[in-house]
């Protein structure tokens, strides 16, 4: 593991990720050991302070969801460390034991992308939301019913008694996602990974779900890792944005700084693809070329070099650039972006 920790000027982070890696073996045969690996997450570092949200942005297959699954311990890292604040200490949750997992689950939850697949169709809405309370041994049945009813009211499913004993197939997509949010927040977690929670919903109800999540974050003091491929959504939801490409973070900054002053050519390409609500606007051509590089055993050079319009021989013949602070609070992984003193 490389000894390269990214200091993002967060003095008291709630979550701190250092040099995180996740490699998936490529199967070559039933009795043959894998010698090739997909580098889904490769040397990723960032911090999230308490009460703030970080947007993780990038195209499909770049490693966003894998990063989120590792942070919630639904997947194991190959290497690296993940720290979660517990009082004055930072506990490495990558090494958490079975006894500590129950406490960890109470503090960290995940909202999944697909509200149709993330619920058991044979369980009622009450059973779905109350399950974390049952697993954690919180309250008796009357108290759990009261808590579930309270969460249903908070997420806008009212009157709560008419929803508690329905089944998922009786709800719309937006209602199911509200149930998923209630399930994630029912045990008062401090950190929630939201994996594109509005991408499966109609445009007409996305904004209501995003407003709901923001309001609940303020009410419960929750920090989000908000995974999305939509920069407009990231701008609405997040205090800072990290742009990910092929397993690596290539740029990280405060939201308005990153969107108003993008430094990495990949970030610029993403912004150039954002729709403009003006039929007379003529979009300039996107500068990047070719298709996404394969993630199987990529060479140690910059992952973006084959598509980069700026690439030079130096980029092709040297190791991938680290994520460095080029200006105050603005981190970029590019050999050709100079530091601003």
In whole angstroms, what is the distance from residue 13 CA to residue 6 CA?
A: 13
In this structure, the chain runs to a length of 341
pLDDT > 90: what percent of the chain? 60
In whole angstroms, what is the distance from residue 307 CA to residue 315 CA?
A: 12
Q: What is the 3-state secondary structure (H, E, C) of the chain?
A: CCCCCCCCCCCCEEEEEEEEEEEEEECCCCCCCCCEEEEEEEEEEEEEECCCEEEEECCCCCCHHHHHHHHCCCCCCCEEEEEEEECCEEEEHHHCCHHHHHHHHHHEEEECCCCCCCCCCCCCHHHHHHHHHHHHCCCCHHHHHHHHHHHHHHCCCCCCHHHHCCCHHHCCHHHHHHHHHHHHHCCCCCEEEEECCCCCCCHHHHHHHHHHHHHHHHHHCCEEEEEECCHHHHHHHCCEEEEEECCEEEEEEEHHHHHHCCCCHHHHHHHHCCCCCCCCCCCCCCCCCCCCCCCECCCCCCCCCCCCCCCCHHHHHCCCCCCEEEECCEEECCCCCCCCC
pLDDT > 70: what percent of the chain? 95
- Scored b (16 or more CB within 10 A) or e, 216-242 reads bbeeeebbbbbbbbbbebbbbbbbbbb
Greatest extent of the chain over all pairs of C-alpha atoms, in Å = 68
pLDDT at 2: 40
Fold (topology level) of 13-122+167-332: Rossmann fold (3.40.50)
The mean pLDDT of 310-332, rounded to a whole number, is 93
Mean of the per-residue pLDDT values of the chain: 88
pLDDT in tens, 121-142: 999 999 999 999 999 999 999 9
pLDDT in tens, 80-98: 999 998 878 888 887 787 7
The mean pLDDT of 260-283, rounded to a whole number, is 84
pLDDT at 20: 95
Q: How confident is the model at residue 51 (pLDDT cuts 50, 70, 90)?
A: confident
In whole angstroms, what is the distance from residue 206 CA to residue 219 CA?
A: 20
Would strands 223-228 and 191-195 be described as parallel, antiparallel, or unpaired?
parallel
pLDDT in tens, 172-205: 988 999 999 999 999 999 999 999 998 877 887 8
In whole angstroms, what is the distance from residue 47 CA to residue 197 CA?
A: 22
- Inform me whether the pLDDT recorded for 10 exceeds 60: no
- Inform me whether the pLDDT recorded for 225 exceeds 60: yes
Strand order in the sheet with 240-245: 108-111, 191-195, 223-228, 53-57, 240-245, 248-254, 330-332, 324-327
pTM exceeds 0.75: yes
User: Are the C-beta atoms of 226 and 71 separated by less than 8 Å?
Assistant: no
């Amino acid at each position: 593991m490389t000894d390269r920790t990214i200091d993002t000027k967060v003095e008291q982070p709630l979550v701190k990720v250092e040099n995180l890696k996740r490699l998936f073996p490529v199967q070559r045969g039933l009795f043959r050991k894998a010698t090739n690996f997909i580098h889904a997450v490769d040397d990723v570092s960032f911090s999230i302070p308490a009460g703030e949200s970080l947007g993780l942005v990038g195209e499909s297959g770049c490693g966003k969801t894998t990063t989120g699954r590792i942070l919630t311990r639904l997947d194991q890292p190959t290497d690296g460390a993940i720290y979660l604040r517990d009082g004055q200490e930072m506990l490495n949750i990558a090494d958490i034991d079975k006894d500590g997992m129950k406490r960890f689950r109470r503090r960290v939850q995940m909202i999944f992308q697909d509200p149709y697949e993330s619920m058991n169709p044979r369980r009622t809405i009450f059973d779905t939301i109350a399950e974390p309370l049952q697993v954690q041994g919180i309250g008796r049945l009357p108290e759990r019913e009261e808590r579930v009813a309270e969460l249903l009211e908070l997420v806008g499913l009212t009157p709560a008694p008419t929803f508690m004993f329905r089944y998922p197939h009786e709800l719309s997509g937006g209602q199911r996602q509200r149930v998923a949010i209630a399930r994630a927040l029912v045990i008062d977690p401090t950190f929630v990974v939201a994996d594109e929670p509005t991408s499966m919903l109609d445009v007409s109800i996305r904004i209501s779900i995003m407003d709901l999540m923001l309001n609940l974050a303020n009410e419960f003091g929750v920090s989000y890792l908000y995974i999305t491929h939509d920069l407009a959504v990231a701008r609405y939801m997040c205090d800072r944005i990290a742009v990910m490409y092929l397993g690596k973070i290539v740029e990280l900054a405060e939201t308005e700084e990153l969107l108003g002053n993008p430094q990495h050519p990949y970030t610029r390409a993403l912004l150039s693809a954002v729709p403009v609500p003006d039929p007379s606007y003529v979009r300039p051509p996107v500068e990047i070329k070719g298709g996404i590089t394969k993630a199987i055993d990529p060479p140690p050079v910059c992952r973006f070099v084959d598509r980069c319009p700026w690439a030079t021989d130096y980029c092709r013949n040297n190791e991938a650039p680290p994520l460095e602070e080029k200006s105050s609070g603005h981190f970029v992984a590019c050999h050709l972006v100079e530091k601003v003193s």
